[in-house]
Amino acid sequence: MNDRPDARNLLQTARNVFIAEILPALPASSRYTALMIANAMAIAQREIAAGDAPLAAECERLGTLLSEPAAAPAGEALRGVLAGYNRRLAGEIRAGRFDGKERAALLEHLRRTTGEKLAVSNPKMLK
């Protein structure tokens, strides 16, 4: 099994070729669509590079916030637990649980989660 090029390298190479060779050859009417494709490739690269670390950190913060601290699971189980925690969080926000002294912890969780998501989807917004 080849370790190189890995998925990140392949995406970077494909994006570089796309931007350097294909994008300039497209008509102006297709430029916006092509730039969206190049951006999606860059987001995929950053997501691969980050791995599950941001999701695990979010899951652990939510577990603490919801009074269920535990180590985050891995893979698809992590995504399932995270989805459940986020549904519960939304319900507890609607119920007013975070209107008092727990509000600061909620806001810190939301700030950190938003920063982690922006680091993947649009890192320029963090500046």
**Are 59 and 82 contacting, i.e. CB atoms less than 8 angstroms apart?**
yes
Question: pLDDT-derived band of residue 27, with 50, 70 and 90 as boundaries?
Answer: very high
What pLDDT is attached to residue 6?
Answer: 86
Instruction: Give residue 8's pLDDT band: very low, low, confident or very high (50, 70, 90).
Output: confident
Counting other chains too, the contacts that 13-16 makes at CB distance below 8 Å and 24 or more residues apart are: 14/41, 15/41, 15/42, 15/45
pLDDT at 96: 96
CA distances from 21 to 16, 18, 56 (A): 8, 6, 38
Judge whether residue 99 has pLDDT over 90. yes
Residue 3 has pLDDT above 80, yes or no: no
Interval 7-22 mean pLDDT: 94
Mean pLDDT, to the nearest integer, of 12-31?
96
Total Cβ atoms within 10 A of residue 37: 15
Q: Would you state the pLDDT for residue 1? A: 57
Q: Write down the pLDDT at residue 108.
A: 97
Which pLDDT value is given to residue 2? 60
Greatest pairwise CA separation for the chain in angstroms: 58
CA distance 67 to 52: 22
